[in-house]
Chain A
Amino acid sequence: MSELEVGPLAGERVPVIATRGVTKHFGSVQALRGVDLEVYGGEVLGLVGDNGAGKSTLVNILSGAFQPNSGSLFVDGKRVTFGSSLEARRAGIETVYQDLSLAPDLAVWANIFLGREQTVKGPLRLVGWLDRKTMAREAEADLERTRIRIGSVKALAGRLSGGQRQAIAVGRAVAWGSKVLLMDEPTAALGVEQQAKVGELVRSVSDQGVPVLLISHNLPQVHALCDRVVVLFQGRVVADLRPADVSVEEIVSWITGASLAATTATVGALLRSTGHDGEPGYDGGPGHDREPGSGGGSGNNGD
């Protein structure tokens, strides 16, 4: 497998996951037009964009549900391909889906261990006899780290509140030693108080060194929570921003393409000079000077 030879300069941090020149089309609809993205250890990276900008397509590619038409994925600098979401998970990419992907009729512990159930030792192992005690105990420990109280891990997941279910989904993802957590619209269905809880949850995950890629429409939350915000517009990364340096309104203007129009003249000319043949990826927004790898001109999308 080829090493990631672009993005970080020698001696710089290697992104936990990175994409280079990823494209994806559905029939004649071009959802992604060459996306370069890096997620670094310990950061909370916001991925924003309007409906149809390509956010969910990109997330589905990172989580292994879709395969890109061209371009490459890298995990810890190593090139990878995912044939299925299972392969992405084996590579350490855990996704917390918008619908949370919980089985409401199963107990909390069963949801956490689903697909990776522990069986007892001895002859009963042959019939797949579950070690329920151990799983319940470990599930409790996993959830303690999320700092949201669940009550009993024997409760049915469907009987819990939205925030508690979110905690189960996140706790499950973190419990399985993920390298990076993708969270797709984690607060879309939640009330204000619970949104704050999820914010704490995201922070506690990244404090443990696991980077979080947060896909959200909730811009105030993204602005408050993320270390860095990447804006997708019409299938391209058009801005790489630091919330510390920009306002929510500026992020909005990138999402709607207003900032893009303002900078097209200058940036377009710049990118054409670096070899993007008439299809420039406008990924130089304000703040990009601080981030390694945000210079889209160096992408290896020639393969």
Chain B
Amino acid sequence: MATKFPAALSPTGSVSPNAGPEGGAPPPRRSAALRGVDRIGDFWIVGVLIVMVVAFGLKSPDHDLFTRASWLNTSDYAVEFLILAVGETFVIITGGIDLSVGATLGFTGMVSGAVMQSMLNGHDNSLLTTVVGFAVALLLGAAIGFVNGYLITRLKLPPFIVTLGSLTAIGAAPALINGGNEIATLPSQLTTIGSTEIGGWIYVTVVIAGAVCICMGFVLHRTRFGLRTYAIGSNNLGARRAGINVDAHLVRVYTISGVLGGLAGMMVTANLSVAAPLAGTNDELNAIAAVVIGGASLFGGRGHMLGTVVGTFIIALLVTGLVLVGVSGSWQQVATGIIIVAAVAVDQVRLRLAER
């Protein structure tokens, strides 16, 4: 883990700027004001999202962005890597990274699809098949995440390397299942989840993703597990000295990420009504981008769930928005890249200003 210096001791900051306050007592009003600026600053990315909505809305022909169809498209597209980004938020806050989530999505989707197909071919009950399908995907995802976490903590390997290995190995696996062909024999309950809009506006998959976000947001920001996740990313050695079982915690965090990869796999299968071998390809990059745009630091210790949600919608909106205003889809990648760098740059500047 990278050793992090407290702000005042950072190589660039030197001790002096912060050194005096408690002697002469800091003017409390100024520090309160500073915190206020910080808090608004934390949500500047929300402003970016709003500007994007307005801009794309006005620019799109007949204000198409504000139609039901475009909302359904955007939210539907967002579900997939929103779920991945939730797990990635935990991982990145610990100071790690999980590159394997997209591959986990594709692999779990295919395996669970194959299991469901064989159950249906044996004329099994459709509801039971759906339940078994979910169980297979979630457990398989958990197993992948557990192995990632185990290798990272026991062999002391960098998360980047371990999950890059998982990505490479698991990424190839879907091609070996069902001859690399899509699996379309799926239980009707599952495809219903993917195609039903509640009240005509919200897909069931969006509801599921939203529930995951809310639950895991509370876990991150309100529970002991969340606090320790931050503590590990902020000061790994300090967390160990405080009696936290850091290795066990990290294994749990990567396992959560894997489980959510499995859940995302099921959501994609439900959406497409087929289990597709190429599902999830490159999704890890979108998930990581969403987390980073949302204000998380790749050095760990910083990030929040709301930021991740906003970051996810910024990326999803770029895709649908650019398509609506008639820009080629390839530009979406260019725009995403620019936004990632810009988001981190703005964050760094903010931090430096706050340390003054």
Contacts and interface: CB of A to CB of B under 8 A. Distances in A.
A89 B6 contact: no
Interface string B49-70: 0000000000000000000000
B215 to A, nearest CB: 10
A264 B127 CA distance: 88
Interface of B is mostly: helix
A115 B242 contact: yes
Contact of B22 (A152, A159, A197): A197
A182 B96 CA distance: 32
Interface stretch (A97-105, A277-285, A294-302): A97-105
A56 interface: no
Contacts of B242: 101, 114-116
B82 to A, nearest CB: 22
Interface string B330-356: 000000000000000000000000110
A57 to B, nearest CB: 17
B22 A104 contact: no
B302 A105 contact: yes
Instruction: Report which residue of B22, B223, B228 has the largest number of chain A beta carbons within 10 angstroms of its beta carbon.
Output: B22
A103 B230 CA distance: 8
Interface range on chain A (Cβ under 8 Å from partner):
35 or more
Interface in B218-257: 219, 222-225, 227-228, 230-231, 233-235, 237-244
A152 B355 CA distance: 17
Contacts of A165: 6
B211 to A, nearest CB: 15
A117 interface: yes
A150 B238 contact: no
A151 B230 contact: no
A165 B9 CA distance: 11
Instruction: Report which residue of A101, A152, A167 has the largest number of chain B beta carbons within 10 angstroms of its beta carbon.
Output: A101
A119 interface: yes
Interface string A157-172: 1111111110100000
A127 B223 contact: yes
Interface stretch (B12-20, B145-153, B173-181): B12-20
B28 interface: yes
Contact of A115 (B22, B244, B302): B244
Contact of B231 (A110, A149, A158): A110
Given A106-B230, A159-B354, A162-B9, A101 B238 contact: yes
Given A119-B224, A130-B223, A101 B7 contact: no
Interface in A152-192: 152, 155, 157-165, 167, 189-191
Contact of A157 (B6, B20, B227, B354): B6
A86 interface: yes
B227 A110 contact: yes
B21 interface: yes
Contacts of B230: 103, 105-106, 110
A110 B234 CA distance: 12
Contacts of A81: none
A159 B13 CA distance: 12
Contacts of B244: 114-115
Contacts of A106: 227, 230-231, 234, 301
B26 interface: yes
A66 to B, nearest CB: 14
Interface string A84-108: 0110010000010101111111100
A128 B223 contact: yes
A101 B222 contact: no
Contacts of A164: 21-22
Contacts of A97: 241
A130 B22 CA distance: 29
A158 B355 CA distance: 9
Contacts of B354: 159
Interface in A110-163: 110, 114-117, 119, 127-130, 148-152, 155, 157-163
Given A101-B235, A104-B7, A114-B242, A193 B224 contact: no
B219 A161 contact: no
Contacts of A197: 22-23
Interface in B1-56: 4, 6-9, 15, 18-23, 25-26, 28, 31, 35
Contacts of B243: 85-86, 89, 115-116
Interface string B101-144: 00000000000000000000000000000000000000000000
Contacts of A193: 20, 23
B235 A161 contact: no
Contacts of B225: 127-128
A188 B176 CA distance: 60
Contacts of B237: 99, 101
B300 to A, nearest CB: 8
29 contacts: A86-B243, A95-B241, A100-B6, A101-B237, A102-B235, A103-B238, A103-B239, A104-B6, A104-B234, A104-B301, A105-B234, A106-B230, A106-B234, A110-B230, A114-B231, A115-B239, A116-B242, A119-B224, A151-B26, A158-B7, A158-B8, A160-B18, A161-B19, A162-B8, A162-B15, A163-B22, A165-B6, A189-B9, A197-B23
Given A104-B235, A128-B225, A130-B227, 11 more contacts: A86-B243, A104-B234, A105-B234, A110-B231, A130-B223, A130-B224, A155-B35, A162-B15, A164-B21, A190-B15, A197-B23
Interface of B: 4, 6-9, 15, 18-23, 25-26, 28, 31, 35, 219, 222-225, 227-228, 230-231, 233-235, 237-244, 301-302, 354-355
Q: Which 3 A-B pairs have the closest CB atoms?
A: A115-B242, A105-B301, A128-B224
